[in-house]
Amino acid sequence: MSVLQSETLSMLTGIFEAARLIPARTAAQSNVLPLTVISGFLGAGKTTLLNRLLSEPQGRRLAVLVNDFGNINIDAALIKSRSEDAISLANGCACCTVAGDLTRALIKLSDSPEPPDAIILEASGLADPRGIAQVALANPALYLDGILTLVDGETFEERHNDPDLASIFSAQLSAADIIVLNKVDLLGTRGRAVRDHLQELAGTRPVLEVAHADVPADVVLGVRTQQSVAMACLPDEDHSSVFRSWSRVWSNPLGKERLTNALEQLPADIIRAKGIFHFSDNPSQRFIYQRVGSRWKLTPDDAPRVAAPGVSQESSLVVIGPSSKFDVDFVSERFTDGALA
């Protein structure tokens, strides 16, 4: 059996598992909920957009599901602090490896006595959103409202021209009802060329240009897509063979200076890194670390949280890079307890 046949079988198994888990619906359960999928490559701004939607829902009660690549779901942790209706789906592409968890989460939301007005699923940066939609729509209580794909304008040309990333990048673009060119404030003189190239790839579909993922809820929700999602998911094997992830959790607050020095030593070929940190000089203050390509920042998180302050002072870090270049031992050595003490 070829790799493609094997992975297609894996995707179909996920869809069949979803169908098996879904109970028969009665006439009394006739409400159908809209599902919006937010897609985009690693670091495009998906979590930033999702948090904006949660802070300005335009009167809607939104439920969110967050799927991430790796064992620790940093994005879900950031979103859960702002929403009680947040469900984490970690460690894989939702169309292949967590289909059962996704289906159970959707059943829980659709069968709730007080269901949300809409469900938003933030896809892993390495996922084909059409595969996720196929699994989700095995549930007759849902319909696909639309797929929105964010593109990081600053790294667009580099990602599009990378042969290891081309299939994922193209699948995310072709699946979209709406394409959002994010981080236009960082483009400078390259702006027009990037916009023209992306619009050429988008064809007749709209391309919105924004900074800081600032897209209104009324644009994201209520798209009412007419496109079919009856297309194959990207082979999940591509994700695990092309990319590697390393992660670490610390139960106690860290020293800020040593941690910052370690972050500065991360290799240049890292594609994406993100973390949540508490430091020993002020353990109750949470800091958010974001790195896309060579650009990174470590900033205090001053957003209001649903959970009571001080519930957890755990720190966590996830680093993602190309398998061919990712020196896991080098990264791990930078973040040992001894190195950070």
Would you state the pLDDT for residue 168?
Answer: 86
Would you state the pLDDT for residue 132?
Answer: 76
Would you state the pLDDT for residue 99?
Answer: 59
Q: Please report whether residue 1 resides in a domain.
A: no
Would you state the pLDDT for residue 26?
Answer: 38
Are both 169 and 280 inside the same structural domain? no
Two structure tokens written together for 131: 């595969």
Are both 192 and 90 inside the same structural domain? yes
Are both 139 and 226 inside the same structural domain? yes
How many structural domains are present in the chain?
2
Would you state the pLDDT for residue 79?
Answer: 58
Low-confidence ranges of the chain (pLDDT < 70): 1-31, 68-100, 226-242, 303-312, 341
Q: Please report whether residue 24 resides in a domain.
A: no
Are both 59 and 166 inside the same structural domain? yes
Q: 234, 265, 298 — which closes off a domain? A: 234
Would you state the pLDDT for residue 240?
Answer: 52
Q: Please report whether residue 82 resides in a domain.
A: yes
Cβ-based neighbours of 148, under 8 Å, separated by 6 or more:
36, 37, 38, 39, 176, 177, 178, 179, 180, 215, 220, 223
The CATH number of residue 283's host domain is 3.30.1220.10
Q: Please report whether residue 25 resides in a domain.
A: no
User: Distance between CA atoms of 181 and 306, rounded to whole angstroms?
Assistant: 31
Q: Please report whether residue 84 resides in a domain.
A: yes
Would you state the pLDDT for residue 150?
Answer: 96
| SS3 label, residue 248 | strand
Beta strands in 192-314 (DSSP E): 207-209, 243-250, 272-279, 282-292, 295-300
Domain range for 206: 10-19+33-234
φ and ψ at 207, to 5 degrees?
-120, 115
pLDDT digits (tens, 9 = 90+) for 32-67: 888 899 999 988 999 889 888 888 877 888 888 887
Would you state the pLDDT for residue 305?
Answer: 55
Are both 249 and 336 inside the same structural domain? yes
The CATH number of residue 180's host domain is 3.40.50.300
